[in-house]
Amino acid sequence: MSADVTLSCNSCGQAVAELNVTYNLTPMLKAAGFRGWRWVARPTTTVTELAEHLARVSAELRRDSARYQAMNPVNGWGTYPGLLMALEDFTDRAKRFPDSVISTWL
């Protein structure tokens, strides 16, 4: 199971960013200050708010990488480096497309 977040171009409907995160990484995300997938899915959450929040979470993950790497799921589904790369890529795209529309599959 995973959470999927897509940003789509407001005018053309094309996907401009996608984030797929296994729920196995939820403890790591929460420890780094992530507000939760339900917050992402709220209709009032803006792309700018989401980008700023994910940037803070990424910064925290980088600040104490040893702590978070130790939280890698024992079943191998999801890793610290993969999560960090996905968050940072998504955040960069969200900053480039602040007028996009958020859709989620939780």
Structural Rg of the chain based on CA atoms: 13
Q: Is the pLDDT confidence value at 72 over 90?
A: yes
Q: What is the pLDDT of residues 16-69, one digit of tens each?
A: 999 999 999 999 999 999 999 999 999 999 999 999 999 999 999 999 999 999
pLDDT band at 81 (very low <50, low <70, confident <90, very high): very high
Q: Check: CB of residue 22 under 8 Å from CB of residue 1.
A: yes
Cβ neighbors of 48 (< 8 A, separation 6 or more) are 94, 98
Domain range annotation of the chain: 2-25+46-105
Q: Tell me which residue of 23, 2, 5 sits closest to 89, measured CA to CA.
A: 5
Q: What is the pLDDT of residue 82?
A: 97
